[in-house]
Amino acid sequence: MASSPPPPAHPLPALASSHFLSLPRPDPSSFTPQAGVPDTSTLAAHDFDVDTRTGFMPPQPPLARLPIEWEAWETMLADATEQHLQLGDKPGLSDAEKAKSERWRQRVRDMPVLPTADLVGSERQLRRAHHVLAWIMHFYIHSLPPSEPVVIPRSITLPHLRVSAHLRLPPVLTYSDDVLYNWDYLRPPSPSITPGADSDEDEDAAIPTLYNLRIQSSFTSTPSESEFYLSSARIELAGTRALALMRATMDEAFVSDALAFRRIARYLLSLADIIDELTALLMRVREGCDPDVFWGEIRPWFKGEDSSTAGGKWVWEGLGEAGAEDLDAPTELSGPSAGQSSLVHALDVFLGVDRYSHDASLTGHKADGGAEKRAAPSFLTRMQAYMPRHHRAFLTHLSANPRPLRDLVISAAASSSQSAATSPSSPPSLDILAAYNAAVASLRRFRDAHMTIVALYILGPARRAKQASEVGLGATGNGAGAHPELRAHAHPEFNAAVEKDGDAPEKGTGGTDLVMFLKGVRDRTAGAVLPS
CA atoms of 491 and 452, how far apart (whole Å): 7
Question: Are 245 and 270 in contact, with CB atoms under 8 Å apart?
Answer: yes
Is beta strand 150-152 parallel, antiparallel or unpaired with respect to 314-316?
parallel
CA angle 453, 455, 459 (to 5 degrees): 130
Across 114-197, the runs of DSSP E, i.e. the strands, are 150-152, 183-185
DSSP-assigned beta bridge partners for residue 214: 184
DSSP-assigned beta bridge partners for residue 31: none
Count other C-beta atoms under 10 Å from residue 362's C-beta. Answer: 27
Q: Where is 419: in which H helix or E strand?
A: helix 405-419
At residue 145, what is the residue type? P
CA atoms of 467 and 416, how far apart (whole Å): 58
Q: Where is 382: in which H helix or E strand?
A: helix 379-383
Phi-psi region of 74 (alpha: psi -120 to 50; beta: other; left: phi over 0): alpha
Residue 378 — φ and ψ, nearest 5°?
Answer: -65, 160
Q: Is 450 annotated as a binding residue?
A: yes
> 102, exposed or middle or buried, with CB in 10 Å at 0-12, 13-18, 19+?
middle
The secondary structure of 81-117 as a DSSP string is HHTT---TT-TT--HHHHHHHHHHHHHHHHS-----G
DSSP 8-state code for residue 62: P
Query: Which residue ranges are tagged as binding site for heme b?
Result: 450
Query: Which residue ranges are tagged as binding site?
Result: 450
